[in-house]
Amino acid sequence: MHDKCFPPIADAHARVLILGSLPGQVSLQRQQYYAQPHNAFWKIMGRLFGAGPELPYEERMQHLVLNGIALWDVCASAQRPGSLDAAIVHASVVPNDFAAFIASHPGIGLIGFNGGKAADLYRRLVLPGLPASERTIRTATLPSTSPAHAAMPFEEKLTRWATVLQNPHNAEHLGSSPVSSAPSP
């Protein structure tokens, strides 16, 4: 049984694409990105873009779109027992069609990965198949908002996300260096 991702949340004016790996079980049940209540994603988006968890899901999506933020996952589908990224069965991963997405969203100038697993899957399964012009988009690996990544305090996660999303030129470029974490403030 393969879990499947949701359609991307984006409009034609998107500037930043935030990628997770694959929706977790709570998200799949609720059909919402980052629906697990202990995931810090919406709390961070609330602080940065007014798209906090207190708003209805559709309003959160609108806030992201109005701020030029697109949201999607690296995996179109994959086998994963449970919700942990470490449980993704690599041989089962079918990546999303990023060449088509980027071609239809030419303003994307930064891809931010929500955690190291999304960055690794993108680097290994997506990047080699992209046209050269699409491999030059700046990237940054951000601290995972997952409750499984609880070792980093919320305020530090928020600072690192803000550093990259509010100053996208700080992001690393995949073509000249490995996908890496945003610099510490």
Q: Residue 52 corresponds to which tokens in the numbers above?
A: 């906090």
Helical spans, DSSP H, in the chain: 25-30, 41-49, 57-66, 98-104, 116-121, 154-165
170 catalytically annotated: no
* Cα–Cα distance measured from residue 4 to residue 96, given in angstroms and rounded to the nearest whole number: 10
Contact criterion met (CB below 8 Å) for 142 and 113: yes
Beta strand 75-78 with 94-95 is: antiparallel
| Full DSSP string of 16-57 | EEEEESS--HHHHHHTSTT-STT-SHHHHHHHHHS--TTS-H
C-alpha gyration radius of the chain: 15
- Give which of 33, 58, 64, 34 is closest to 46, Cα–Cα: 64
The one catalytic residue among 39, 114, 167, 170 = 39
**Which residues carry out catalysis?**
39
